[in-house]
Amino acid sequence: MAENVRLHKTVREKQDLNKVVSKEFTTFLQPQQIQNNDTVEELFRLYTNLYLDIPLDGPLSHKYLIEESSKLVDIEQELDIQPLLDEISDLRQRLLEANEYISELEKESSNV
């Protein structure tokens, strides 16, 4: 039960092909704007969420953040630790004097 099937072929010239077929790239979706979420607010939101997950040391760490930020801000100058160091020195001196006084009192009480 063979049937004869007739095929018909239309041949176009190369010059006519450009008139019939578009070679432009097209899409079915409208191009979407890419949102730039790289903002300072987003950085601090992420930092707050990931604070405990960030390692203390290493290439992506709290230490790295401190070192990079220190390039912009002189932390020691900002902290102004000199008054604190002076107070520590004064307290050490007073403690030494108090210990010497206690030692003298102990010697006197042992002689009596």
Condensed to tens digits (0 to 9), the pLDDT of residues 39-89 reads 999 999 999 999 999 999 999 999 999 888 888 877 666 667 888 899 999
d(CA 62, CA 56): 5
Report the alpha-carbon distance of residue 62 to residue 98 in Å, rounded.
41
Query: CA 105, 110, 112: angle at the middle one, nearest 5?
Result: 100
Sorting pLDDT into bands at 50, 70 and 90, what band is 25?
Answer: confident
**Residues 71, 84: one domain?**
no
Answer whether residue 52 is part of any domain: yes
> Residue 87: what pLDDT?
95
Overall number of domains in the chain? 2
CB under 8 Å to 12, separation ≥6 — which residues? 20
Averaged pLDDT, 99-110? 91
Within a domain: 68 = yes
pLDDT of residue 75: 66
Q: What residue numbers bound the domain in which 68 lies?
A: 38-75
pTM score, two decimals? 0.40
In 3-state terms, what secondary structure has residue 43?
Answer: helix
84 and 66 both lie in a single domain: no
Based on the fold, state whether residues 67 and 90 are members of the same structural domain: no
> In this structure, is residue 18 part of a structural domain?
no
| Dihedral pair phi/psi, residue 49, rounded to 5° | -70, -35
